[in-house]
Structure 1
């Protein structure tokens, strides 16, 4: 990454390395593998997935065969990670996707990827507030508190997230670690209870082994919800500047995050199916989508377990929001450091070593999106979250496709002594799988935003992403001095 000359930092430098940060604006951090894994897995919101996309994938996808879809998606994403991590030592920037695209395809495409990624992460962070606000309200109503507008609790969460993200990344990492451990433990406790009780009314589900079950219903819809469950895993590379040893830390964190998420989802969705009965799970998930996880937890872990899962579901959404805020902030910071956007956003806080100015910009945009949702009287879940989630899901898979093609391009220019498997075979297999997933996403996009066929919202999502990508070459033409890597 190129070094830029900046104006004085926000406050008087403190600490041994503060003078250097004041001049260069560099981030301070010593994130190890575990810290990055916590941040990235928290973005995936494991408990939120088990309580949200999993029941949806079961109900509207392929029922008892859904756990297998997680394994298939994980396998394709592992193939993606093979090429992605192989290229990491040769992409020195913390720009994640766009730095790879810049190096493999070109500067215009790299900038287009950066803007597409920013759009996807920002709208998803804002959209999750549409889940968080009602979630807190429902939780507190269960304890006897009166109902309040969803945006009131969203506003409180917004303030806390903005404050945490303003300070050093290690503080956010510690908060995310605590929240993530809690949500994973309660789901694992439920999994264990189901296993040790011998399963549900029909014993253990075997649908994930039955080809007829795997392809039953709408497996394409199941793939869509499975992919939504992985958004954020690829962001390991965003934290390159704050990693202890990025050439080792980033690949290890990527593999650990990806595989652990995939295995966790597959096992937990299988346990949920087993607990409710394979023959009736589709009916139960369809009728009780919003409560099937808490109801099942209460059945196997008692009333206390049911209350714990309600609390941790809300904290899971908070952790998800905080993670996406950190990711978006580092995109802004990295682009500013390279001269693509206003350079002051690329100055780190002199005391905290955090991208504080970039964080404030992220907060402002997300806050405006939430305010717009309230002003337009949008339903927080059915409209605000769903529409923005549609943008993020299409953007996520599109970014994976472009990045995979870029990795192949990087090694076509120079093999760097990397094995044929890592530089070509695995990325090519991943590209084939991801293109198939992208076709499935496009086919099912109207249903995701509650349209019978392609209408204003479905088309609007594609137009927004296209405009974000096309902005790359345009900005690149006017910011010729900017270098992405």
Structure 2
């Protein structure tokens, strides 16, 4: 039983709906991988874990986190059989917990994805500027590079996921290629470094386990993207299922292999990483591939941030579209392009939000990476993990209300197990918030109030907007 989302109150001239059959399981898989940005995760989250977390035990922790997410995916895929909507958690959480809760969740997701898109645009401009300066000797301000990144993101957002998926797939495959080449070089030059001790519980659960757990989970960010594209997918039920498990498996393999290769490259990877976690991958490449690899890796990291920006832009735009369609935000957000069938108004609004986010940093000449990224990492980590917990609770509630008839493992035990694990991670994030964000500034610590306020606003907007009561009621089965 599948449910497609279009509000009966929307007039034909306002939206004809998202274009169908524009993306398949393959494209959806790589839109998820693009959002995770394997090279940037290696150069940031996982390198920090090697330095300050459990060290070489990070490899084992990645297996634990991948297993937890695989258990979560069981219930997630079951829900995707019953509801399909561009604002995935919107109806996933609302299906079991009520439409008001679903509306609150949708606003939280919208804030998180819009913040992530803006952050990735800033990072693209920042690293593009560094790459041009170091490799070509051309000095271009980061905000000029940011404008180029915004233009590319806007163009691909308007043209649709059929084009965006080709771009992000290409960039993802380049990242895979670099990771494989570096890993093979390390294997050939230092085969003795590849020890199975990295998988032992004594390594995985020694040191700062909390920090490693959080950064491993963040490395898989964007996991929801498969369901977001459900309305545009070919054979939606099958595509979401295949893409969800495929993206998780590919990311797990890539992260485990790449992290293990970095561990194998050094006698004491924790000590080497602690010198400068941010340059660990680059220093490793210099040693095992040669000095030529530096400029290439710099360029790959830049385009990986751009791919992540495009992926998060598309996700954020579809949430704005879903909220506009349900009249919880202005109805024009639900209009689709007459030629491309994309939520073009929502795309332009998302681009405007990204530009507005970065404007203060341009005017004050502040460093966007130092000042913006901590806020983005804090908000996205708390928001997305909390939404996944909400999805788990929704599955159990839907089972209790006999809305889900599938087996007990998928609709009861799996969501309870994964929900409990994700709740523990949320509590760990809160307890270690300064380390997660890399900032002890009070304003960064207060940033989670933004998605919390968005949730409250969403619940109030649903209650006060009577058209919102028809949310998904009209859907045909």
Q: CA deviation at 1:451?
A: 4.7
Is 1:95 the counterpart of 2:87? The answer is: yes
Q: CA deviation at 1:290?
A: 2.5
> In structure 1, what is the Cα distance between the partners aligned to 2:253 and 2:433?
26
Range 285-294 or range 36-45, more displaced: 285-294
Counterpart in 2 of 1:34? 26
Counterpart in 2 of 1:197? 189
Is 1:359 the counterpart of 2:376? The answer is: no
> In structure 2, what is the Cα distance between the partners aligned to 1:312 and 1:395?
28
Asked if structure 2 preserves the Cα contact closer than 8 Å seen for 1:133 and 1:154, the reply is yes
Q: Aligned to 2:337, which of 349, 353, 357?
A: 349
Is 1:117 the counterpart of 2:109? The answer is: yes
Q: CA deviation at 1:275?
A: 1.0
Change (3 A) 1:147 1:70: same
Q: CA deviation at 1:7?
A: 5.8
Counterpart in 2 of 1:255? 245
Counterpart in 2 of 1:240? 230
Counterpart in 1 of 2:147? 155
Q: Aligned to 2:447, which of 461, 480, 485?
A: 461
Q: CA deviation at 1:233?
A: 1.4
> In structure 1, what is the Cα distance between the partners aligned to 2:471 and 2:84?
10
Q: Aligned to 1:445, which of 433, 436, 453?
A: 433
1:372-413 deviation per Cα after TM superposition (whole angstroms, max 9, x unaligned): 232344322121112222111111111111111111112221
Counterpart in 2 of 1:17? none
Counterpart in 2 of 1:57? 49
1:414-448 deviation per Cα after TM superposition (whole angstroms, max 9, x unaligned): 25431111111111110111111111111111223
Counterpart in 1 of 2:67? 75
Secondary structure of the equivalent of 2:186? helix
Q: Aligned to 1:409, which of 397, 403, 408?
A: 397
Q: Aligned to 1:385, which of 354, 364, 373?
A: 373
> In structure 2, what is the Cα distance between the partners aligned to 1:418 and 1:400?
20
1:277-328 deviation per Cα after TM superposition (whole angstroms, max 9, x unaligned): 2xx2112112132222122123222334333222111111110000000000
Q: CA deviation at 1:56?
A: 0.8
Alignment of 1:295-310 (within 5 A): 295-310=283-298
1:115-153 deviation per Cα after TM superposition (whole angstroms, max 9, x unaligned): 100111111111123322221122112224243332221
Is 1:312 the counterpart of 2:300? The answer is: yes
The TM-score, its normalising length taken from structure 1, stands at 0.92
1:190-248 deviation per Cα after TM superposition (whole angstroms, max 9, x unaligned): 1122223343xx62244423333222221111111111111101221110111011111
Q: CA deviation at 1:92?
A: 3.3
Counterpart in 2 of 1:2? 6
Counterpart in 2 of 1:136? 128
Range 75-84 or range 150-159, more displaced: 150-159
Range 473-482 or range 23-32, more displaced: 23-32
Asked if structure 1 preserves the Cα contact closer than 8 Å seen for 2:374 and 2:439, the reply is no
> In structure 2, what is the Cα distance between the partners aligned to 1:30 and 1:361?
22
> In structure 1, what is the Cα distance between the partners aligned to 2:135 and 2:150?
23
Q: Aligned to 1:432, which of 411, 420, 429?
A: 420
The TM-score, its normalising length taken from structure 2, stands at 0.93
Counterpart in 2 of 1:180? 172
> In structure 2, what is the Cα distance between the partners aligned to 1:123 and 1:334?
18
Change (3 A) 1:308 1:423: same
Change (3 A) 1:311 1:451: closer
Counterpart in 2 of 1:276? 266
Asked if structure 2 preserves the Cα contact closer than 8 Å seen for 1:330 and 1:358, the reply is yes
Counterpart in 1 of 2:475? none
Asked if structure 2 preserves the Cα contact closer than 8 Å seen for 1:6 and 1:25, the reply is no
> In structure 2, what is the Cα distance between the partners aligned to 1:451 and 1:166?
35
Asked if structure 2 preserves the Cα contact closer than 8 Å seen for 1:166 and 1:354, the reply is yes
> In structure 2, what is the Cα distance between the partners aligned to 1:105 and 1:43?
28
Change (3 A) 1:29 1:370: farther
Secondary structure of the equivalent of 1:315? helix
Counterpart in 2 of 1:106? 98
Counterpart in 2 of 1:15? none
> In structure 1, what is the Cα distance between the partners aligned to 2:344 and 2:371?
31
1:246-284 deviation per Cα after TM superposition (whole angstroms, max 9, x unaligned): 11111111111112112211121011111122xx21121
Q: Aligned to 1:227, which of 211, 217, 226?
A: 217
Change (3 A) 1:389 1:145: same
Q: Number of aligned pairs?
A: 466
Range 433-442 or range 295-304, more displaced: 295-304
Secondary structure of the equivalent of 2:341? coil
Secondary structure of the equivalent of 1:302? coil
Q: CA deviation at 1:162?
A: 1.0
Is 1:399 the counterpart of 2:403? The answer is: no
Secondary structure of the equivalent of 1:31? coil
